[in-house]
Structure 1
Amino acid sequence: MTTLEATTGTTVKADTAFRFKDWKTLVFLSTIAVFAVLLLVVFGRSGTSTFSFASGQTDLVTVPNLSIPARGFGLAAAIIAVLMAGGSAFYTRARRKVPRWYIAIFAVILLIAFLAWASVGHTLPFTGLLAGSLALSVPLIFGAMGGVISERAGVINVAIEGQLLSGAFVSAVVAQLTHSVVAGLLAAMAAGVLVSFVLASFAITYFVDQVIVGVVLNGLVLGLTNFLYQTWLTQDGSTFDSPAHLPTIVVPGLSAIPVIGPVLFKQTIIVYLVYVAVAVVFFGLFHTKWGLRLRSVGEHPQAADTVGINVNRTRFWNVSLAGAIVGLGGAYFTLGSVGAFTENVTSGAGYIALAAVIFGGWNPLRATLAALLFGFANNLQSVLGIIGSPVPSDLLLMLPYVVTIVAVAGLVGRSRGPNASGKPYIKS
């Protein structure tokens, strides 16, 4: 006991050494700043990069192209990155978390500098980059919404990949056989529910490890869809695997907004449904009786049971609801994007969606932003490859996964999900 404690009768908290979680953001920003200096200054490129904001259609308001001197802007961005990395030390010294807006500004500045460095001598179609990013993000957002609901209810949903894949397969076949895209969308939701039903049955009723069940279901759905594709769809693709595309719906007025108008409001119905899904899940989760019950069985099932909530039934039906949402996202691959089912058409999108749930802190809005980030990274590697970026193609293919790992490990690190997530509830 110190002299101050003895005389005042109070306990003084010792100034303990920094733990990793206190300064990991500082280390992360400093590391990125060092890489920025190496790339933008040491290996800087001379020349001008042009950003095009045309939508490819007749725009009501034409936004002129933006030309950026790559070397000068890169030097300025590198200096700003170093200063901001140093500035984060003040938050660390004060034991305060670095604000999200601070990290966002840091990331945006370096992103523009990187795009200018990578597209020297070329024109980067910025509007097209955003539109493609949204297209790749749609199934990720649906998957993330299903993951948030399921895990908030207390069930770890590793089976998002299987739900997306089953929704993609069933939607293509049903839409083709019935000549109705609406029937295809409903069938995709039913397929997602079926996979979730199996997950819920084993995890909730029989107390099987939820992660193991999810991994097994992903492998089962992948094998089953591949088998049916090879033995059925490839034999007569015109009959079973040539569904109609969803038509593009233009929202009058909003679609004329420069840059973001064509990106957000010249889309198919399934893209508009993802806007609705995010809003409904967020509002329902935090502002309705349903959301309160859902969160209670995921945080403290014993307390929920005490006030009369049937914990396992609430979990079961909400996991099924999550499957319906994810299955709808699977339909985007066949009815809104590719146009036909192919083997492993989801290509691990379910796992990226699961990472978005964790990165977003099990919050629908933040998980959506995380999914958009991963979709942007995925589309960026395609665009840079098309315009002839000096970055090797193998590194470009790694980009979305590197961004996922850096985002989850570098910015999130150790995070706490719902308290009872992954834990079966046995009524005492």
Structure 2
Amino acid sequence: MSVDQTVAEPAEAPVSPAERSRTRRITTILAIATALLLLMWWKTESGDFTFLLQPTSSDTDEISVSTDGKRLVMYCTIIAIVGLVLFAAKLARRGALFGALMALVGVAFIVGFCAWAYSGQDTPSPLPMTNPLEGTVQYATPLVLGALCGAMCERAGVINVGIEAQFLAGAFFASVSASLAYSAWMGLVGGIGAGIAIGALLALFAIRYLVNQVVLGVVLVVFATGITGFLLDQIPSDQVELLNSPPILATWEIPGLSELPVVGAALFAQNWLVYIMYLSVPVAWFLLFQTRWGLRVRAVGEHPTAADTVGIKVRGRRWQAVLVGGIFAGLGGAFYTVGSTGAFDKDVSAGTGFIALAALIMGRWHPVGAALAALFFGFVSQLQTQLQILAKLPTELLAMTPYLATIIVVAGFVGRAIPPAADGEPYVKS
């Protein structure tokens, strides 16, 4: 008598609707990217595509790479096709392999797009593509600092839509302080003071008077836009040099690092505020995740009632986090005057405070993730600025590119981002 010892195969875990939706989104984006690369490969003319690896501001010898543009687009198309096949075959849908594959396809799409854009130039001397790293850092510096401000605030449970207000106030008072003292470093002090002051207004009305935090942030932006514009108009024409002609922070080339090929001059021959931005990311991470203070800040942002039960002063910690965030935002605002252009002008930040808030969400409320998201936006912004001179695409379409790319990454790859549990919820002690 035989006994059937066949063991049933374990059933596969059911796929959730959210996972199916994510898979459809990513598949659609990869398919569109592949189709666009195929179209660009068909439209690209054979000819050299030159890429200058050294930034234009570098004093070192020029380093360039030239290759056939059509062949380069073909290679990028092959990478996109392989990525689409691997994802569709369920071979790279999770973990580090998925992240590496998406990054590779993204880089391939950008390189292929640039090769198509720079090919077929009807000029005696075709324009080469310059290294975008230097411009990326310049664009991203205030965005990174603003995103760090948002991380501090929202990890404590306070939504900060008013980063733009802190940028404007920081830029104005940095310019005035630096002009009066004729010191760019005093401009940083003025910018920090203004960022903290706007943060104090946010904390006062959001934490003390329980005002709706989203509405409050919008009101603060309107207030800062109006007050800085009004104060600028009050500066007499004969006093502009005294009150609105600040010195700019000096550029420092880090010995050894600034001489590295490709990245040296772009990353390590910058002004001091850029280096402060470099240091701010690990400092913010350390404060939030490696200190007792940061643990308590995150506790009041996740479970304020439980934090209060064990003796943590919820309102006090939220005040502290918002004021510390004001330091980062004030520095970000100072970049628009003493860090780049010098004199303050109305709406000098041009809405970048809201982009910093988007970078924060894209980075999932983590200082490092938010900084990487801000760098991504800075890179795409620099790229669209370079491509405008070619006139191959409408200027209006290119101006949309950074925002469109951010939406695609957030909606297609990041997916649903879950904020701290008590974010935006006022706490009333029972």
TM-score w.r.t. length of structure 2: 0.91
**Local SS of the residue matching 1:342:** coil
Distance 1:16 1:111, change over 3 A: closer
Give, in whole Å, the separation in 2 of the partners of 1:229 and 1:141: 27
- Shift of residue 169 of structure 1? 0.5
Contact 1:52 1:123 in 2 (8 A): no
What is the RMSD of the two structures over their aligned residues, measured on CA atoms? Answer: 2.3
Match of 2:370 in 1: 367
Contact 2:143 2:374 in 1 (8 A): yes
**Local SS of the residue matching 2:171:** helix
- Structure 2 unmatched ranges of 5 or more: 1-7
Match of 2:398 in 1: 396
**Structure 2 matches for 1:112-261, cutoff 5 A?**
112-120=111-119, 121=121, 122-127=126-131, 129-232=132-235, 236-261=239-264
The sequence identity of aligned pairs, in percent, is 40
Match of 2:412 in 1: 410
Give, in whole Å, the separation in 2 of the partners of 1:91 and 1:12: 14
- Shift of residue 367 of structure 1? 0.9
Match of 2:381 among 378, 383, 389: 378
Give, in whole Å, the separation in 2 of the partners of 1:291 and 1:82: 44
- Shift of residue 11 of structure 1? 11
Q: Deviations over 1:38-96 (max 9, x none)?
A: 2x23433332210012344432xx56411121112212212321221221123489787
Give, in whole Å, the separation in 1 of the partners of 2:378 and 2:16: 41
Contact 1:30 1:86 in 2 (8 A): no
The one-letter code sitting in structure 1 at the alignment partner of 2:117 is: A
Contact 2:54 2:62 in 1 (8 A): yes
Give, in whole Å, the separation in 1 of the partners of 2:374 and 2:15: 39
**Local SS of the residue matching 1:417:** coil
Give, in whole Å, the separation in 2 of the partners of 1:384 and 1:146: 31
- Shift of residue 422 of structure 1? 0.7
Range with bigger deviation, 82-91 or 193-202: 82-91
- Shift of residue 239 of structure 1? 2.1
Give, in whole Å, the separation in 2 of the partners of 1:273 and 1:85: 40
Contact 1:166 1:330 in 2 (8 A): yes
Matched, 1:265 2:264: no
Give, in whole Å, the separation in 1 of the partners of 2:182 and 2:424: 41
Range with bigger deviation, 66-75 or 268-277: 66-75
Contact 1:142 1:274 in 2 (8 A): yes
Contact 2:54 2:265 in 1 (8 A): no
Match of 2:36 in 1: 35
Give, in whole Å, the separation in 2 of the partners of 1:234 and 1:42: 57
**Local SS of the residue matching 1:50:** strand
TM-score w.r.t. length of structure 1: 0.91
Contact 1:54 1:125 in 2 (8 A): no
Match of 1:3 in 2: none
Range with bigger deviation, 159-168 or 91-100: 91-100
The one-letter code sitting in structure 1 at the alignment partner of 2:30 is: L
Match of 2:295 among 285, 292, 296: 292
Contact 1:233 1:241 in 2 (8 A): no
Distance 1:410 1:13, change over 3 A: closer
The one-letter code sitting in structure 2 at the alignment partner of 1:126 is: T
Matched, 1:324 2:327: yes
Distance 1:98 1:33, change over 3 A: farther
Matched, 1:72 2:74: no
Q: Deviations over 1:272-302 (max 9, x none)?
A: 1111100111122211112111111111112
Contact 2:87 2:93 in 1 (8 A): no
Give, in whole Å, the separation in 1 of the partners of 2:304 and 2:267: 40
The one-letter code sitting in structure 1 at the alignment partner of 2:43 is: F
**Local SS of the residue matching 1:101:** helix
Distance 1:288 1:16, change over 3 A: closer
Give, in whole Å, the separation in 2 of the partners of 1:65 and 1:252: 23
**Local SS of the residue matching 2:50:** strand
Give, in whole Å, the separation in 1 of the partners of 2:139 and 2:196: 23
Contact 1:23 1:92 in 2 (8 A): no
The one-letter code sitting in structure 2 at the alignment partner of 1:425 is: Y
- Shift of residue 14 of structure 1? 4.9
- Structure 1 unmatched ranges of 5 or more: 1-7
